[in-house]
Amino acid sequence: MLGSNKHRLSNAMTIDVEDYFQVSALAPYISRASWPDQDCRVENNIERILALLETKQVKATFFTLGWIAERYPAMVKKIHANGHEIASHGYGHLRVTDQTPAEFADDVSRSKHILEDLIGNPVLGYRAPSFSIGRDSMWALDTLFEAGYKYSSSIYPIEHDHYGISDAPRFPYYPKGPEGILEIPISTVRVFGKNYPAGGGGYFRLLPYSLSHRLINRVNQVDQRPGIFYFHPWEIDPGQPVQPALNFKTRFRHYVNLAKNEAKLKQLIADFEWDRMDNIFLNNGNEQKRYA
């Protein structure tokens, strides 16, 4: 174990529940119409994740696609029964920027209703596919609030070729004012005036574990804030079908270090304190202003 997190802040562990063939970067190679015919692997991967979390009695937030929930309702119910938070990842993994405001409103409401019907509890959180709420789609936050969501985790404050608002706040804030929705960004560290990713995804697979550990420790000890970490079920699945004809960049991003990631996650879970998003940032549905 690396150096302990002396502050023992609870960090938010989050999982974006989607299958490998639904990844936005693979959309040019796997048609949406073919999804029902793909080799679905999400159930087995979720079982492994639940077992991994149980080793340290960690509770997490699962941002779940409505499309997945319709097909695997028992899986969603089990996640909920195990004490984890069910949140929404939208219905069909469409980027916000690829939808009209009316289509987006339908997508997020449809997903919310599917999930709530399954678990019998309100769904308070939402994460946009590919962190696709950007400068030109801030209207989506009003739509989420009107649909009954309390928080979003959809604006990544980094520079990236597919998403991000590099100068957005690094910590939870109210983009539309205190009466609106709470935005909870994935963790970053700020070095020489620039934000760098510190909260998981492909960066966690690519970077040495020791560096990822230091980055999260920095958020806890220097910024004195809870970290927000995320990964996908397919990121612990080196046996997933390899898609042909991918360009080098897409192939590298998707498949790098899949075989090593589960062990790294196991170490991460052991080295830090973790909890659900709602437990850390909401209090009986009321935002904790000290984090905003």
The pLDDT tens digits for 207-263 are 999 999 999 999 999 999 999 999 999 999 999 999 999 999 999 999 999 999 999
Up-side HSE of residue 195: CA atoms within 13 Å toward CB? Answer: 21
Up-side HSE of residue 268: CA atoms within 13 Å toward CB? Answer: 33
Return d(Cα 63, Cα 55) in angstroms, integer.
21
Q: What type of residue is 287?
A: E
**pLDDT grade, residue 4 (50/70/90)?**
very low
pLDDT at 85: 98
Does domain 10-291 match CATH 3.20.20.370? yes
Buried b (16+ CB within 10 A) or exposed e, 237-250: beebeebeebeeeb
Q: Where are the domains of the chain?
A: 10-291
Are the C-beta atoms of residues 87 and 121 closer than 8 Å to each other?
A: no
The mean of the pLDDT values for the chain is: 93
Percent above pLDDT 90 for the chain: 88
pTM higher than the cut 0.75: yes
Q: Which of 216, 130, 144, 220 is nearest to 175 (CA)?
A: 144
The pLDDT tens digits for 134-146 are 999 999 999 999 9
The pLDDT tens digits for 5-14 are 444 789 999 9
